[in-house]
Amino acid sequence: MSESKLRTQSMDFAIQIINLVKSLKSKKESIISNQIGRSGTSIGANIREAQYAHSKADFIAKL
């Protein structure tokens, strides 16, 4: 089963976000780093959820 380009890019983005969060936490910037980590890594989950949409409108709403 081949990976979609969007799925691969979202995984790469999540890895970059995690590295950014680690860098911010080492500088004691925990409040902003927590929010960036949650929002940056949820993109992949939203993409995966949209792949199982029942209609085009549902796909757009989930994405």
User: What is residue 7's predicted lDDT score, i.e. its pLDDT?
Assistant: 86
d(CA 38, CA 51) in angstroms, rounded, equals 21
Tell me the pLDDT of the chain averaged across its residues. 87
The 10s digit of each residue's pLDDT in 16-63 is 999 999 999 998 888 888 899 999 989 888 888 888 889 989 888 887
Q: What angle do CA 35, 38, 39 make, to 5 degrees?
A: 85
Predicted confidence band at 3 (pLDDT cuts at 50, 70, 90)? low
User: Which residue has tokens 């989930």?
Assistant: 62
All structural domains of the chain, each given as residue ranges with its CATH number in brackets, are 5-62 (1.20.1440.60)
Cα distance between residue 39 and residue 45, in whole Å:
10
For 24, 25, 28, 30, the CA distances from 45, given in Å and listed in that order, are: 23, 24, 28, 23
pTM, 2 dp: 0.74
